[in-house]
Structure 1
Amino acid sequence: MSEFILEMNDISKEFTGVKALSNVNFKVRKGEIHCLIGENGAGKSTLMKVLSGVYPFGTYEGDIVFEGQVQKFNKINDSVKAGIAIIYQELALFPDLTVYENIFAGNEIKRKGFVDWNQTIVQAKEMLKKVKLNVNPETLVKDLGVGKQQLVEIAKTLSKEVKLLILDEPTAALNEDDSENLLELLKELRNQGITCIMISHKLKEVISIADKATVLRDGRTICTLDAAKGEIIESTIIKNMVGREIEDIYPKRPEKKIGETILELRNWSAHDTQLARTVVKNADLHVKKGEIVGIAGLMGSGRTELALSIFGNPKNYKLQGELFVDGTKRNFKHTSDAIKAGIAYVTEDRKGDGLFLIQDIKNNVTAANLKGIAEKGILNENEEVKVATEYKNSLYIKAHSLEQTVGKLSGGNQQKVSLGKWLFVGPKLLILDEPTRGIDVGAKFEIYTIMNKLIAEGLSIIMISSELGEVLGMSDRVYVMAEGKIKGELSIDDADQEKIMELATQ
């Protein structure tokens, strides 16, 4: 019998003339954690959709060999029956059902034709033990945090006697503690004989957990790296992912020109009346022209709430304190007021809040400033094309044309479209909330380069980030938040991960 539980041989897949996969070869040994890595658009998710039956047999070329047998999966249920389960970034849970109902959804335990709920609860408890999640199985899923929901999803797959578990960016929405817990669980599952394939952009996670790592680039297999041979190191991964060496992922600005204060908050507070709690408490903050101000803190610390309270208060918080733009006290009653004052906000949720996924690039780029392409109240389509072309070129947006649907772009290119949308309103202060979440190292480098270019042109940036390396690598100053309060301000020369975490956990 083969030493490989999975062999994907010479897999090719086309979409309307575009070759997404070209003779990809991918082999996974039983009982290993195998990371699949590459830039957005490299073909990772497409390859896994071929494997799981989302793209059925006959729509691709090549062979899938699982446990020594050539497979012809025509639908997802076929791969599930074979022992293959895939967990996507967007969890497939029912928020208004209980944990035990979710774990056995579609796989109900029945006796004489009826669901045996007592046995379902008993078995659910066993599954929760396996994933080390200590919650009451009768808890509604919507009442759990994202990290615990992720564990429920894994428990759900384990209930189906999975042999090969595939996780697509499993830690993208998790904080550091939840991410670490998940990675430890994957190691335990490996020890129990379950094979894991993990797609991840977080190189530190890949380095810490992978037995093997296969790199895809432009729909082709570049190499497979072996941890036992010391091959899974950051420089080697990056070089193979992007086809070139990136000496410093955080490009330095050759010259910093810090000017006058653009934005200032004094004793600023925001009370969420729906949650009945204060989400920002007595914040003092300032941003100067030509600087990047990082805002660090754990999830739930109030970082996004602070950004929204500045950007015209779309959540209708009850605000207190003073906000100044260019030294003038302002009172924004709507996001349009903030935009007119020169403030723009690029949301952390580009798919949910930032973009119109079913519309094309040009419609998205101009969406926040339709007046900028209108003449006497009528949209000028030629001007729209001109504007969108300028941003496509200046932001290095990789797409077949301006008419390409944004939902079909990679995460990095979606982020650039979202950035272009807000740059077109002509801001002086740009708030970037998790600007590189869920995008690969090559796209990150491009986003950082764009940020430095904007700063050199006189813009100011507030950058909210959960990645401490990003905060330290790109910021001029750092504010650290915890429980809605700014716990400290650090110059970049004085800041390090230990100091930030010490303030963030006060």
Structure 2
Amino acid sequence: MRTEDNRGLRVSGVTKQYPGTIAVQDVDLDIYPGEVVALLGENGAGKSTLSSIIAGVTQPTTGTMTWNGEPYSPATPGDAIAAGIGLIHQEMRLLPDLTVAENVMVGRWPMRSGFLDARSMREKAKVQLQRLGFKGGMDATVRNLSVAGQQQVEIAKALMLNASLLILDEPTAALGQSETEALFDCVRSLQAEGVSFIYVSHRLAEIAQIATRIVVLRDGRKITEHASGEVSPKQLVEEMVGRPVERLFPEVPPPTDKVVLQVQDLHDKAGNFTDVSFSVREGEIFGIAGIVGAGRTELVRAIAGAQHRHGGTVQLDGRTLKADDPMAAIKAGIVLIPEDRKQQGLVVSDTIENNIALPNMTKIGSGGWIAPAKVRKLARSVAAGIGMKGNVSLPVASLSGGNQQKVVIGKWLERNPRLVILDEPTRGIDVGARASIYEVIAELARNGNAVVVVSSDLEEVLGLAHRVMVLARGQNQGILDADEASPTRVMELATS
């Protein structure tokens, strides 16, 4: 370590204690100009707490920090930003009814003669967003953007800070391969200017590409530090979880020949997907890959009846399903685990048990009455089945991202579906929770369900799927068997 260098950030013996728990304990961390330090660990390891302390969101119980050789103890995020340190949160903090440009420039809107200079605002926002590969318009309302588009706006907003240290918390969670590469190009460009980064991610395949050092946390403590980013994912996983891990992706037997889902010439008026045809067999995990904007989410939502389709057919076990009718799809045996679990999959302010009960009222109600004892019994049974520990009477908001996703999956699996569609099933979820969700997906296939997995994480799609369909500009560019589906081949099709 370059202990003689006073530039950058030095964290010394930082501890954060809450009633009944220690979130971070005696952590030392140095960040030098032009570095990208990957901060790894499971949910609850202390990554977010440490990041929040550095960014002025939380104050440490004990310990000290220095910034460029001077004492540094931000009382608010504003103090940190003024010092040149910014945090890009995993949970986006955008104003949904403002435009893209207004969000990127919020708090720094250019003025002329006392009025907003809209043209200058659009131009400045466009410069930052183009660095990230953003394809939308500056006047688009943020509410109408995809999750990936919103993530790009969030990152561009932070880039406007001209910070010397940026903390990126799961910045690629909603991004595809091309958008991730654009972000990395931007990070490398800023590195060359002396900007440093703390990079928090569960996508271990990215670490070797972008990190100059790796710091691993477990149970609030710093476990180890690696002098480069070139460390095997298997070793990092074992350091994070504290035990040997044989394999991340479970083995799944080959599917049968029986076709469960048959999609024929599906298309919509907006051109999100055009003449898409494919089938999924009993016991098959069918992956859908493609860059952001390829139409993956729109396609699976249309299959589940949650989004309009203009033409084509969807058949489940030979029975043609009515278009644009999510209830008919659910009754037929199709369930969709959406990509945005907080906005579309859960009522986060309500309890775990009530969330589990919502799609299962016929099991726990009679004559218009719901029995609380039955609600709790059902919730405990579902929680045990998906490996979720804790009190089911607590709010969903109190759970980690991994356990929230388990609640979404578990509540729908209680309906014994025939087809399960999972859109970005492990977005923002740590490696330990990922492994358990992968096992749930594999068990569905072993039990004869048909499973469709949509993911921007190529490693995930290739590790799980028997076959992979690649979408580009809403069209099926090809379906690859597992033995021919490589990252290179998938990206060739996705960009063709």
TM-score, length-scaled by structure 2: 0.88
Tell me how far apart the structure 2 counterparts of residues 247 and 63 of structure 1 sit (CA, whole Å): 39
Contact 1:128 1:155 in 2 (8 A): no
Q: Secondary structure at the match of 1:280?
A: coil
Deviations 1:185-224 (A, max 9, x none): 2122122111211111111221111111111122221111
The equivalent position to 1:310 in structure 2, one of 290, 296, 303, is: 303
- Does residue 270 of the first structure (1) align with residue 267 of the second (2)? yes
**Distance verdict in 2 for CA 1:244–1:65, change over 3 Å:** same
Q: 1:170 to 1:387 in 2, by over 3 A?
A: same
Give the match's secondary structure for 1:196.
strand
Superposed displacement of residue 146, structure 1: 7.2
1:430-474, CA deviations, whole angstroms, 9 ceiling, x for partnerless residues? 111111222222222111111112222222211112222222221
**2:296–2:454 contact (8 Å) kept in structure 1:** yes
Deviation at 1:505, TM superposition (A): 2.7
Given residue 321 of structure 1, which amino acid in structure 2 is its aligned partner? G
Give the partner amino acid of 1:139. Answer: M
After superposition, what is the alpha-carbon deviation per residue over 1:116-173, rounded to whole angstroms, capped at 9, x for unaligned?
867993997599379847999x933648887777666556545544221111111222
Contact 1:215 1:224 survives alignment (8 Å): yes
Contact in 1 for aligned 2:23/2:220 (Cα 8 Å): yes
| SS of corresponding position for 2:330 | helix
Q: Normalising to structure 1: TM-score of the pair?
A: 0.87
* Superposed CA RMSD: 3.2
1: distance between equivalents of 2:296 and 2:133? 29
The change in CA–CA distance for 1:349 and 1:215 in structure 2 (over 3 A counts) is same
**Cα distance, 1:108 vs structure 2:** 5.8
Which of these residues, 366, 370, 377, is aligned with residue 368 of structure 2?
377
1: CA distance between counterparts of 2:349 and 2:373?
21
For 1:479 and 1:80, the matched residues in 2 are separated by 44
Q: 2:481 is matched by which residue type in structure 1?
A: S
Offset of 1:104 from its aligned partner? 4.8
- The offset of 1:8, in angstroms, is 2.4
Inter-partner Cα distance in structure 2 for 1:346 and 1:452? 15
> Equivalent residue of 1:366, what SS?
helix
Looking at structure 2, the residues matched to 93 and 73 of structure 1 have their Cα atoms a distance apart, in angstroms, of 23
CA distance in 1, matches of 2:268, 2:111: 48
Superposed CA offset, 1:266-297 (max 9, x none): 33x2324xxxx233322322222211111222
Structure 1 counterpart of 2:49, one-letter code: T
From the superposition, tell whether residues 123 and 83 of structure 1 become closer, same or farther in structure 2 (CA, over 3 Å): farther
The aligned residue for residue 296 of structure 1 is: 289
Q: Displacement of 1:348 after TM fit?
A: 0.9
Contact 1:109 1:120 in 2 (8 A): no
In 2, distance between residues paired with 1:452 and 1:86? 36
Partner of 2:47: 44
- Equivalent position of 1:349 in the other structure: 340
Letter in structure 1 aligned against 2:180: S
**Which residue is 1:323 aligned to?**
314
Residues 395 and 133 of structure 1: CA distance in aligned 2, closer, same or farther (over 3 Å) = closer
Assess, with a 3 A threshold, how the Cα gap between structure 1 residues 131 and 499 changes in structure 2: closer, same or farther.
closer
8 Å CA contact 1:207–1:234 kept in 2: the answer is no
- 8 Å Cα contact 1:9-1:63 kept in structure 2: yes
Amino acid at match of 1:314: A
Residue 31 (structure 2) aligns with = 28
SS in 1 for 2:274: strand
Report what 1:361 is aligned to: 352
Structure 1 unpaired stretches of 5+:
none
Which whole-Å CA distance do the structure 2 matches of 1:69 and 1:124 have between them? 36
**Matched residue, 1:334:** 325
